[in-house]
Amino acid sequence: MIFKRQEGFRFKFDEPVQMTFAVYENGKVNHTQTAMADLLDISPKGLKMFTEVDLGVHPAPLDLRFVLDTREIRVYGEVIWSRPFANGKQYGVYFNNQGAIEDLIVDELKMRRKKETAEAKQKKINS
């Protein structure tokens, strides 16, 4: 079996991270159509999100915004797959060669994970 995914890891969140997205129209972001989504998992090159918004059969590129730890990440993404899920859809979004964003995602995930590990240790000590 051949897999399209050629990346080293995907980080799946225990609780989805809230994010916003807007559609690009004619090369510009249409901020009047900003919507909410749940960020389900992420890698340096893409993410999986859930939203109740139906983006159609051939969705336009998206302007995505989210915070993994402390800094807001804004990235351009192209929807490469979708599937119905519950009362909405899940979408797979690819970040096309955005090196600085890839590094920022990795750095933010490292910081988030350190905090989660420290919190888990503290809870164990307090139990």
pLDDT of residue 92: 97
pLDDT of residue 80: 96
pLDDT of residue 7: 53
pLDDT of residue 6: 53
Q: Per-residue b/e over 39-68, b at no fewer than 16 CB within 10 Å?
A: bbbbbbbbbbbbbeeebeeebebbbbebeb
Q: Is residue 4 predicted with pLDDT exceeding 60?
A: no
Q: Is residue 1 predicted with pLDDT exceeding 50?
A: no
pLDDT tens for residues 55-106?
988 899 999 999 999 999 999 999 999 999 999 999 999 998 888 999 999 9
Task: Tell me how many degrees the CA angle 87-90-96 measures, rounded to the nearest 5.
Answer: 155
Hey, what domains does the chain have and what are their CATH numbers? 11-126 (2.40.10.220)
pLDDT tens for residues 15-49?
999 999 999 988 899 888 899 999 999 999 999 99
